Structure 1
Amino acid sequence: MKRIGLIRVAVVALFTMHCSLLTCYAQSAKTVLDKAAASITAQTGVKANFKMTATSGNTSGTIAIKGKKFYATTPQATVWFDGKTQWTYMKHNDEVNVSNPTEAQLQAINPYNFIHLYKRGYAYTMNTTGNNYVVHLTANSNERKIKELFISVDKKSYQPTQVKLLQGKKWTTFDISNIKKEKLADSQFKFNSKDFPKAEIIDLR
C-alpha cells in the first residue's frame, strides 16, 4: 500500500511539473510576441518593406503602420486603413473599393495585424530556427478565420522577420525587412479623392 501511495505521489508530482513546464513555455512564447509587438509599436508610426508569397500570386511593397492604422503600396494596388474604413485602389482599372474589413481580411494585407490578433483566442508553442524564435499560434475556436500563424522573431532585436498564416486551406507568407520608426501623419492613412480625380469609387460597406 505504501508503494502504491508513493507511486501516486510521484505521478501527481510529474503531472504537476509537466503542466508547469507547459505553462512556462506558453508564457515564454507570449513574452516573445509581446516584445515583438513592442518593437514595432510607436505612437508616431513605423515603416517597413515586405514580400508576400501566396497561392494567388506574389508581390512586394512597403507598409506604414500607426496603431491599428496602416498604408500599404504594391505594384498592383494601394491600401489605406484608418482603423475602421479601408480604401483599396486598383491601379490597372483606376478603381477604389471602400469597405469595413474583417479581422481575417486585415491580416491578409497587413502582416503587422498580429500585434492585436495574438492576444486572444490562440494557443502558443515556440521553437528556434537559426537567429529567430518561431512562435506557432493555433486558433482555439473553429470560428476563427485565421486557423494558424507562424511568426518568426529576431532573437536580438525582437523585430518580426516573417509572418505565415493559414486561411481556409491556403497559406500566405510575408517576409518583413527594413523596419524603421518614423513620424507619420494621420492623413496618410485616409484615401484622398483629390489625388485620384478620375478613379471610380465603389462602396462595398
Structure 2
Amino acid sequence: MKKIKYLFLFLAIFATNSIFSQNNNQAKACLDKATSLVANQGGITAHFTLSLPGGAGSTSGTISIKGSKFVATTPQTTIWFNGTTQWTYMKATDEVNVSTPTEAQRLTMNPYALMTMYRQGYSLSMSNKSGAYSIHMKATNPKRNLSEAYITVSKNYQLQNIKMKQGNKWTNISISRIQSKNLPDNIFTFNKKSHPSADVIDLR
C-alpha cells in the first residue's frame, strides 16, 4: 500500500512539473514572437503612457524602437539611446545629460527592453486575459533590479501593457498605436543641431 501511495505522489509531482515546464515554454514562445516583431523589422513607432509608482503622476509620449536602440519623447523630455550611450534632454533646463544607463533606467523609458530580459534569470508563466496573453515574469534572484513583471501581449503578439516591480514599487506602461517603420540609425543619437543652445553634461 505504501508503495502505491508513493507512486501516486511521484506521478502527481511529475505531472505538476510537466505542466509548469509546458506553461513556461509557452510563455517564452509568446515573448519570442513578440520580440521578433521588433528585432526583424526596420523598427516600430508607438504611443505610450507611463504611470509612476505610488500615484506620483503619469506622462505620455511617443517612442521609436529598432532593436536595442530607441528614442522616446514626452512634453518634458527626449531620450536617445544608440545601444550604448544615452542622451537625456530636459526642456525645462535646456540641458542634455549623457550617460551609460543601467538596466533599470533603460526599462523605465523603453518597455521593449524588458522583452529581451526574459531569456535569463526569470521564471515564466502565462494565462489568457481578455483576449490577450498575460505573461508573468519573476526573477530567480530576488535582488535583481526588476524582481517581477506582468506583460500583456495581443493575440497577434503586439505588446499592449507592462506592469513591473522595482524595489517595492510598481510602474505601469501602456502601449498603443504601434506602426512598423523603416527607421534610420542616426535618429537614435543626439544631434547637437536639434538643440543648439543646450548645455551638454557628460555624466559617464
TM-score bucket of the superposed structures, by smaller chain: over 0.9
Q: Quick one: distance in 2 between partners of 1:94 and 1:10?
A: 69
User: Is 1:40–1:159's contact at 8 Å kept on the other side of the alignment?
Assistant: no
Is structure 2 residue 13 aligned with structure 1 residue 15? yes
Q: After TM superposition, where is structure 1 displaced by more than 6 Å over at least 4 residues in a row?
A: none
Deviates more, 1:120-129 or 1:144-153: 120-129
1:133 is displaced (CA, Å) by: 1.1
Unmatched segments (≥5 aa) in structure 2: none
Q: Quick one: distance in 2 between partners of 1:6 and 1:142?
A: 39
Which one-letter code corresponds to 1:95 in the other structure? E
Unmatched segments (≥5 aa) in structure 1: none
| RMSD, aligned α-carbons | 1.2
1:39 is displaced (CA, Å) by: 2.5
Is structure 2 residue 112 aligned with structure 1 residue 112? yes
Question: How many residues in Structure 1 have an aligned counterpart in Structure 2?
Answer: 202
Deviates more, 1:34-43 or 1:171-180: 34-43
Structure 1 vs Structure 2: percent identity of aligned residues?
43
Match of residue 64 from structure 1: 64
Is structure 2 residue 160 aligned with structure 1 residue 161? yes
Where 2:157 maps in the other structure, the secondary structure is coil
1:6 is displaced (CA, Å) by: 1.9
Q: Quick one: distance in 1 between partners of 2:143 and 2:84?
A: 21
1:173 is displaced (CA, Å) by: 0.8
User: Is 1:71–1:188's contact at 8 Å kept on the other side of the alignment?
Assistant: yes
Is structure 2 residue 139 aligned with structure 1 residue 139? yes
Match of residue 199 from structure 1: 198
Which one-letter code corresponds to 2:120 in the other structure? R
Correspondence 1:40-79 to 2 at 5 A: 40-55=38-53, 56-79=56-79
| Length-normalised TM-score, structure 2 | 0.95
